[in-house]
Amino acid sequence: MPQEAVLALKASEGGLFVDGTLGLGGHTEAILKASPEARVIALEWNQASLELARRRLASYGDRVVFELRNFARVDEVLEELGVREVKGMILDLGLSSFLIEGSGRGFSFLKEEPLDMRMDEGLKITAKDLVNRLSEAELAKLIFRLGEERFARRIAKAIVRARQRHPVENTKDLAEIISRAVPSWYRHRRRHPATKTFQALRLAVNRELDNLNRFLEKAPDFLTSGGRLVIISFHSLEDRLVKHHFRRDPRLKVINKKPLRPSSEEVARNPRARSAKMRVAERVREVDHG
């Protein structure tokens, strides 16, 4: 939803923005194109993605500052750069096509790849570690809580039974274990039966909800009065977290009561956008109690 995001950020007016999830640079480029006065501090914690985006955006020169850091550390980045306030910030919490198709990290169950799922190689725990080390109860809890998977217990039991024979090491093996564990009617729906379990493992490995919470606590302090915070999420846990935080935070005013959704044209071009929800909040002027 790049154009919707640019409108929500009021990027055409120019100013300094933060793209907390640079990916391959789509939103940053849209912001830079919106106004010659727009500048972006771009954060990305996957080294390969950052380098690809750097090449894509090379023509914009010093209008972009690249930082190899997770968005949860946005306060550190801005303080190090001497930036006290920005006009807007955006997060796109979806996985980039590069991570799914080109990283070889096991984000997709449609290909046979190692069970890694780390967005940053510096992280110590992989999906393989979780699948092979957690107890059955711990696995079931993780899959149910982070994947909202109704058959979490059956899947956890099947994983533990399979790993007793040999470790579960790749995406294809795990997807097959999950498919055999669930009822036949569940296997033949539009969504692959491994989708929610893979989601849960990815969220756990990368501590994505913790990072989002940390960002939401810090980000409003760096927004100028009237500055916008735009967050695009792709599943209910993230969207719920953003919705509740926007409503509770006295620093923010909710702009869209209901999340914005992608157009049918965008979904036709990019089916992965189907579940996207965009929420927008604005920094309110602080009340002087003096």
The CA-CA-CA angle for residues 76, 31, 92, to 5°, reads: 60
- The DSSP secondary-structure symbol of 285 reads P
Q: Which residue has the tokens 């109690």?
A: 289
Residue 149 labeled ligand binder: no
- Helix (H), strand (E) at residue 194: none
Q: Strand 223-233 to strand 277-283: parallel, antiparallel, or no bridges (unpaired)? A: antiparallel
Strands (E), the chain: 15-19, 38-43, 64-67, 86-92, 223-233, 252-254, 277-283
Residue 102 labeled ligand binder: no
Q: Is 225 left (phi over 0), alpha (psi -120 to 50) or beta?
A: beta
Q: How far is CA 197 from CA 70, 74, 120, 140, in A?
A: 24, 29, 20, 10
Residue 26 labeled ligand binder: yes
Alpha-carbon distance of 237 to 234, in angstroms, equals 9
The CA-CA-CA angle for residues 77, 256, 254, to 5°, reads: 55
Tokens of 54: 């750097």
* Long-range contacts, stretch 267-273, CB < 8 angstroms, 24+ apart: 272/94, 272/97, 273/1
- Please give the backbone phi and psi of residue 7, each rounded to the nearest 5 degrees, phi first: -65, -45
Residue 82 labeled ligand binder: no
Residue 44 labeled ligand binder: yes
280 bridge partner residues:
230
- Helix (H), strand (E) at residue 255: none
Residues annotated within a binding site for S-adenosyl-L-methionine: 25-27, 44, 71, 92
Binding site feature residues = 25-27, 44, 71, 92
